[in-house]
Every structure is written in structure tokens, then in C-alpha cells.
Amino acid sequence: MSGTQTMPAGRACARCGRAARGGGTHWPEGWICATCHTHALETYGPCAGCGAGRLTPGIAPGGGRLCTDCAGGLGDFTCQTCGREGIRYRRGVCGNCVLAERLAVLLDDGTGRIRPELAPFAAAFCQMRRPRGGITWIGRPHVQKMLRTLADPGTPVTHETLNGMSPWRSVAYLRDLLMLHDVLPPADRNLTLFERWLDETLAGLSQPGHRQLIERFASWHVRRRLRGFAGRGPVTGRQTQQARGEVSQAIAFLAWLHGRGRTLADCRQAEIDAWYAGSYTARRLTHAFLRWAMSSKLLPPVTVPHQDTANPAPISQRQRLDLLQRLLTDEETELLTRVAAVLMLLYAQPLTRILRLTLDDVHHDRDGGEVAIRLGEPPAPVPEPFASLLLRHAGQRLNLTTATNADARWLFPGRRGGQPMTPDTIERRLRRAGIPARGGRSAALRHLVLQAPAPVIATMLGYSHDGTAQVAAEAGSPWSRYAPVGHDRPRSGEGSS
Ligand SMILES: [Zn+2]
Ligand SMILES: [Zn+2]
Ligand SMILES: [Zn+2]
């Protein structure tokens, strides 16, 4: 910049009052520091002296701004290329013209001209009000690299291309500019927010090895899946929330492993089991990272525990019917397990409830032969061949009881006196027999509500109306809006044939 000299020591800036700190300019009002000088040459407006709308570097005695002429001649700030007034960067050329020159070189697509797709961006960018910041920005090596890549006619000008660039902040700034000037379509907001979160999260990792691993995991698994979603429509907050969870869990796992003196490469099954122990639900999102690490040969083969969570995938109706058929005829499996499983699959009962059933809940009208089970009111009819199995179990049950449980009337008596069997015990038995302990129940419930009014089933099976109506609505039942009137009995034995 012309007119810059070294401010004599002991002098203060006439505008801000700060002591001399190197470069300054001597104007009629006194020494002006570099900061105030730059600010003066970026200030435009109506001149308080002549009223012209132009650069107003001077300050009037009354406080208004003055153009260079009205201020007594502060210098000539006219650009020799474009005629605009402002800071001149080189041989009398303004910052906007310098920006235009540099962009023309950086964005040259090989034909000696700016790549046509980028022309709207270049034209707008070099007209910025304070070109100083723009000149600094495009002077940075990583920004120059980004711009040269985009200028290459072999590179598509797309969000995907930008996704592959770094660092994130510069990419985000460039992306905003390209969107602002319609070079790129508006980006997916959730995806953009996720990228920013990821960048900040990675920057916050102190272990370089961990950062590298998480970066790879994010690129190869998390981002890839999100892009798949983005290809089918806007990415939802839920999808990016899961992505964040997977990254956070992976980071937490690596830190935990590090705390135990191990790395991914020497992590054993014992560590995996310890990690999941006690907080399976919270750590479920670690699955993705572990599977990716194994497939990438970064982690020795381990078994990732699987456990049904609050909303297990229901088994299909076909599976349910096959299971029921097998249970009703399979004499290999213990009777107790078969009965519990059929109660679950046929009547959509949770295990905790099945275990509270007593002999008094099994009704047997000896004359008519009809068997019913009281899960709610009225008791639900028990179709054959399950009725025979149930009665057989009720009769044999006494033989299984221990002395302490001799007079307990539980349908599934436990080892401890006066107590029914524990849910864990029965769940283990069901698993051994190949029965999904939870998915099966929701499948049964979904199937039942498609065939009878939800309130009737709810009453019969002891469910609250609201909960059953909800499942009915989800299952698309024509009865989902059925009002609870009367006492229609559902047809018995749904799904048993
Ligand atoms: Zn100053
Ligand atoms: Zn003036
Ligand atoms: Zn110019």
C-alpha cells in the first residue's frame, strides 16, 4: 500500500490512540496506524463535505466522513484498472481487480478462461466489498488446491466432489458461495450439519491413531450410508442422529479399550463382552464400527452380541405359523417349553405374564370339553390341539415341583419356594428350542389385531386399549378405529391351523 511508513516510536495513532506498532501513514490529522488506515480505505458513503458517494477515508471535524479531496488530499486511491477507489494492492490496482486476476488463473479450465460452470461464482466473488479477506483466503494453499480441482473439466462440480475435500471449514465456506450463486443446488441441511459435527468431533480427538481410525470408519461406512439416503431424498434428522451415535460409540469404545491397555488389533472376545455387559442398549450402536473393523481386518474376528431390544423385528406370520405347527407336534422339546412358547405365539403374552399364570387360570368345562385360559376377561378359548397340551402340562406340572413348592399353584413353578420360574430361565429354554422370545410376541399381537376388534382382544388378553389400538393402527387393521362396544368374541384359534 502506498504511503506506508514506519511510525516513529513514541507516537500514537491519531484515530485509535494506540502507540506506534510499526507501519503507519502520515495524514494531515497525524499518524494513522495500519489498522485504522485499512479501515479508512474500506469506508464508503456520502462525503460530509461535497456529498459525493465515494471512498471516504477522512474524518470531518464534526464527526462525519470525508472524501480524500474534502479531507485535504489524503492520496489517490483510484484503481488504474477499474477506476474504483479503494485499497490498492499492486501498482495502483485495487483488491477487486487483484482477486479477479488471481481467480482467472486458479479457475482456468485449460482454455485460458474460467471454467464456465464456475463463472457466476468468480464474477460475484471478485466483487466483494472488502476484497482483502478474499485475497487472503484464495492465497491459502489448501484453498488453491480446492479451486484448481474444481476448475479441472474432468471434475464434476457437485456436492459429492466437495465432500471429498478438506478441511471442512474451507469446504463449507466454498459450498455456501457456490450455492449462493447457483453453481450448486441447495445442500441437504442435515447432511451438512452432520459433516460439520464430524469435522469438529474428529478435531477434538487427541489420539492421532484413533482419529485416523474414526476418519476411515466415517468415510467408508457412516458417510457412505448417509449418501445412499441422500440419493433417495432429504436425509432425516433421525438418520444423522444414528450416524452421530455410531461415530460417538466407536470413539467411546476405542477410548475404553485404550484404558484397558489394548488396541483394536489385540482386542479379544473378553473385551467385547465386557464392553457390552450391563449396558447393551446404550452400546448397541457400536455394532457398526465393530463389523466394519472386522471386515477391514483391523479387529480380529469376534462375536458381536445380539439382543432383542425394546422394538425387536417381529417374526413373519409364516415363521409364526411354522413355529406353532412344530411346537404342537414336536415331542422332542420339553412340554413346559412348548406350552410357554405356544402361549406367547398364540396369545401375544409377555413371558412375565405367562409366568404369573396359575392352575386357576386354566378353565376346563369337563362336560362340554371346552378349555379356556384367563389372560383377561372373559377367558380366551383354547383351541385343539393346544388344549390337550395345556391340560397335559397342568397335570404333569405337580411332578416337577420340589418339596418347597408342593402347594404352589403356578402353571410354571420355579425352584424357589412359592415363586414361579424366572423369565431368564424360560427365555433360555425358548432360545434353546429356537423360539425368538420377543419378536414372536409382537408378531402374534400384530396378527391377532388384524382379525378381531382391538378392544375385544385387549379385554380378553388383558391389554390396555390404547396399546392394542396402536399396534392395530401400525398393522393396518380395519379395526383400528373400532369403538369398544359390546362383547363380540373373536374367533378362536387364530393362526393355529
Ligand atoms: Zn489507529
Ligand atoms: Zn468530498
Ligand atoms: Zn480495480
Three-class DSSP labels, 52-79: CEEECCEECCCCCEECCCCCCCCCCCEC
3-state DSSP call for residue 267? coil
The confidence score (pLDDT) of residue 6 equals 81
CA of 21 to the centre of ligand 1 (A): 10
The confidence score (pLDDT) of residue 481 equals 40
Contact by Cβ (8 Å): 409, 360: yes
Instruction: Find out whether the peptide bond into 378 is cis, omega within 30 degrees of 0.
Output: yes
The confidence score (pLDDT) of residue 443 equals 57
Low-confidence ranges of the chain (pLDDT < 50): 1-2, 308-312, 399, 401, 403-404, 449, 452-455, 457-458, 463, 465, 476-497
Task: Tell me the C-alpha distance between 453 and 477, whole Å.
Answer: 9
Which ligand has the minimum distance to the alpha carbon of residue 19?
1
The torsion angles phi and psi of 348, rounded to 5 degrees, stand at 55, 40
How many CA within 13 A on the CB side of residue 271?
A: 21
Contact by Cβ (8 Å): 337, 430: yes
* Close Cβ partners of 270 (under 8 Å, ≥ 6 residues apart): none
Task: Tell me the C-alpha distance between 487 and 459, whole Å.
Answer: 9
Which ligand has the minimum distance to the alpha carbon of residue 98?
3
CA of 274 to the centre of ligand 2 (A): 78
CA of 51 to the centre of ligand 2 (A): 6
CA of 128 to the centre of ligand 2 (A): 24
* Close Cβ partners of 275 (under 8 Å, ≥ 6 residues apart): 253, 256, 257, 283, 286
CA of 39 to the centre of ligand 2 (A): 18
Which ligand has the minimum distance to the alpha carbon of residue 14?
1
C-alpha cell at position 303: 462375536
Q: Which helix (H) or strand (E) holds 432?
A: helix 423-432
CA of 85 to the centre of ligand 2 (A): 13
Helix, strand, coil share of the chain (percent; to 5): 50, 10, 40
Sign of CA dihedral 430, 432, 438, 441: negative
- Whole-angstrom CA distances from 489 to 175, 204, 455, 477 are 63, 62, 11, 17
Closest by Cα among 495, 490, 411, 423 to 455? 490
CA of 95 to the centre of ligand 1 (A): 21
Which ligand has the minimum distance to the alpha carbon of residue 64?
2
The confidence score (pLDDT) of residue 403 equals 47
CA of 54 to the centre of ligand 2 (A): 8
**CA geometry: angle at 258 spanning 254 and 264, to 5°?**
55
CA of 58 to the centre of ligand 1 (A): 13
CA of 70 to the centre of ligand 2 (A): 4
Task: Tell me the C-alpha distance between 489 and 411, whole Å.
Answer: 25
CA of 75 to the centre of ligand 2 (A): 13
Task: Tell me the C-alpha distance between 403 and 411, whole Å.
Answer: 16
Which ligand has the minimum distance to the alpha carbon of residue 37?
1
Cβ neighbours around 205 below 10 Å, total: 17
CA of 128 to the centre of ligand 1 (A): 24
The confidence score (pLDDT) of residue 315 equals 66
The confidence score (pLDDT) of residue 488 equals 39
The confidence score (pLDDT) of residue 478 equals 42
Sort residue 288 into left (φ over 0), alpha (ψ -120 to 50) or beta. Answer: alpha
Contact by Cβ (8 Å): 40, 33: no
Cβ neighbours around 332 below 10 Å, total: 8
- Whole-angstrom CA distances from 66 to 56, 58, 80, 94, 99 are 5, 4, 22, 20, 27
CA of 91 to the centre of ligand 3 (A): 11
Which ligand has the minimum distance to the alpha carbon of residue 91?
3
C-alpha cell at position 386: 393346544
CA of 410 to the centre of ligand 2 (A): 101
Which ligand has the minimum distance to the alpha carbon of residue 65?
2
CA of 127 to the centre of ligand 1 (A): 27
The confidence score (pLDDT) of residue 497 equals 33
The confidence score (pLDDT) of residue 426 equals 82
The torsion angles phi and psi of 206, rounded to 5 degrees, stand at -85, -30
Task: Tell me the C-alpha distance between 252 and 246, whole Å.
Answer: 10
Which ligand has the minimum distance to the alpha carbon of residue 72?
2
Contact by Cβ (8 Å): 63, 45: no
State the angle between helix axes of 269-276 and 237-259 in degrees (0 to 180), rounded to the nearest 10: 120
